[in-house]
Amino acid sequence: MRVVQTAVALLLLATTTASAQPKVLRYTPAADLTSLDAQTNTALVTAQYGMMVYDTLFSFDLGMTPRPQMVLDHTVSPDKLAYTFKLRPGLKFHDGQPVTGGDVVSSIRRWMKRDALGRRMEAALASFEAEGADTVKMAFKTPFPFVEMALAWSGSGMAAILRKADAETDAMKPLTTSVGSGPFKFVPAEWRTGAMAAWEKNADYVPRSEPPNGLAGGKVVKVDRIELKYIPDAGTRANALKVGEVDLIDLLPVDLIPFFKGDANVTVDKLSPFGGEGVIRMNHLQPPFNALKARQALAHTIVQSEFMSAAYGDPVWWEPSCFSWFVCKSANGTEAGSEPYRTPDYGRARQLLTESGYKGEPIVIMTVSDVPSIYAMAQVMAANLRKIGGNVDLQVVDFGQLFARRENRKTPAEGGWHLIVLGYNGQFLQSPLTNPIIDSRCGEAIFGWPCDEAVEKLRTAYFNEADALRRKTILDDLSKAAWTSLPSLLTGMYYNAYAWRKEVTGLLKAQQLVFWNVDKAK
């Protein structure tokens, strides 16, 4: 009898111990986490960090419709000039402080100083203030038809709600604190650049009651802890997943997809409905690409299938062609004006490069070693330039160095650059209001600093137009203007591959990788 009792006791102890073990989801991203400022940093891994730690007033569903998130309800005056937002009850920062209207106002004011759409909102505002602890009011000088969209901005450069003290720091200097009100708490003591980072479940977080939908709805956390394991080499990342050292790979290089073929323990699939676009950024401040003819020359060399097959392999992971600045499968997917560049013309490209004044000077292409798709596209671009007489200097750095150096406006001899190729999340590109690759505000535009009055005039017209049908006409004209000035170049539309072990369930189809709703069998 005692033997039976002892066996039962041991079984109960084992069961209790097993159930007490925390659920830890371990993932490895394509690039390291080097910044904690989700409002200003555009790195994908920082966006993932931000979506865990912070919350936003609104969030986008799968169709990019903004839905209330931290907002309980809001009202809009008949003349569309006054907005009142009431916060959900129970919102708390990770240090226990309640989220107040004062935190919201200071946070959005900081965000507006850096974000292109935010700056437009700021220019239209007449007043913006808190009324009591849970209410915020915005008044506009003229109607601003994209209020909810602006406040829903998530991911890279998100409209994150910070503590008032953090929000009132210099918007031009990155945050070094990490206290939000989101579903996970960052663990600063475990952050080691180049190695790892960790988040723990926020037990005080109260999710919305709606089911998850894209980035909107209820953010229900089902694991106790998230661990980021940074593994620079893609092959090593794949091996780590195969043997169970990590549970999920963000942005699996397509040449490694066959590595998991027939492996019943691993799923490889798409998650983002919009995919992304490969984009060449040209430095408009430095010769030769300050000259339109040099940009036209490069445009005449692009065969999207060459870039996409080199970077993403099997055509299941990319579209045959996409000449829309706003993502071909989105509601704004016009390709108007792209006709001259749909077929390559190397003879014309060589002629234009010569006419631009180029005389064989080194052309610095900056690329990265730790993201294979970007490196592959850079190599294709380099080969194309050589075909038309370009003297190419391909400089390979790590992702963190690229993000820092791309802001250098000096000559390449002084640490600057001529060309960078990157991938952009379709979420950011699908609207002219948030699209960074056509932004042509000269020195105020993102790195590359294109400058074109016609593009900016049409972007402003789109922004000011409340009628959806008239906006569609403006959109076509804007597309044509961008194809005329060439602020960037498109290398094709792709879908990122994600890989995860069978123990992981509940990954959401969303504009980017998120960790709520995700569960893991022990």
Higher pLDDT, 5 or 256: 256
Looking at residue 7, what DSSP letter applies?
Answer: H
Query: Residue 84, exposed/middle/buried by CB under 10 A (0-12, 13-18, 19+)?
Result: middle
d(CA 297, CA 344): 10
Decide if pLDDT at 17 tops 60: no
- The backbone torsions φ and ψ at residue 415, rounded to the nearest 5 degrees and listed phi first, read 100, 5
Inside any domain, residue 11: no
Token pair listed for 303: 């065969």
Q: How confident is the model at residue 64 (pLDDT cuts 50, 70, 90)?
A: confident
d(CA 237, CA 230): 9
Inside any domain, residue 50: no
Inside any domain, residue 449: yes
Each residue of 79-137: pLDDT tens digit? 999 999 999 999 999 999 999 999 999 999 999 998 878 888 999 999 999 998 999 99
Q: Which range marks the domain in which residue 323 is found?
A: 276-494
Looking at residue 358, what DSSP letter applies?
Answer: -
Q: How confident is the model at residue 330 (pLDDT cuts 50, 70, 90)?
A: confident
Q: How confident is the model at residue 381 (pLDDT cuts 50, 70, 90)?
A: very high
Greatest pairwise CA separation for the chain in angstroms: 97
Secondary structure of residue 379 in the 3-state scheme: helix
* Residue written as token pair 């602890």: 133
Q: What is the pLDDT of residue 399?
A: 80
Give me the CATH number covering residue 349.
3.10.105.10
Inside any domain, residue 183: no
Inside any domain, residue 424: yes
Q: Give the mean pLDDT of 315-343.
A: 94
Inside any domain, residue 37: no
- H-only helix segments in 125-233: 147-151, 164-167
Q: What is the pLDDT of residue 426?
A: 85
Q: What is the pLDDT of residue 8?
A: 46
Decide if pLDDT at 370 tops 80: no
Inside any domain, residue 30: no
Q: How confident is the model at residue 155 (pLDDT cuts 50, 70, 90)?
A: low
Q: How confident is the model at residue 253 (pLDDT cuts 50, 70, 90)?
A: confident
Yes or no: say if 62 and 75 are a contact pair by the CB < 8 Å rule: no
Q: How confident is the model at residue 13 (pLDDT cuts 50, 70, 90)?
A: very low
Yes or no: say if 466 and 443 are a contact pair by the CB < 8 Å rule: no
Inside any domain, residue 104: no
Q: What is the pLDDT of residue 157?
A: 81
Yes or no: say if 38 and 160 are a contact pair by the CB < 8 Å rule: yes
Q: How confident is the model at residue 19 (pLDDT cuts 50, 70, 90)?
A: low
Q: Give the mean pLDDT of 347-364.
A: 98
User: How many structural domains compose the chain?
Assistant: 1
What mean pLDDT, rounded, does the chain reach?
92
Yes or no: say if 154 and 215 are a contact pair by the CB < 8 Å rule: yes
> What sign does the dihedral 258-264-268-273 (CA atoms) show?
positive
Q: Return all residues near 503 (Cβ < 8 A) that are at least 6 apart.
A: 247, 520, 521
> What sign does the dihedral 436-439-444-450 (CA atoms) show?
positive
**Cα separation values, 9 from 1, 14, 430, Å:** 12, 9, 60
Decide if pLDDT at 4 tops 50: no
Each residue of 160-211: pLDDT tens digit? 999 999 999 999 899 999 999 999 999 999 999 999 999 999 999 999 999 9
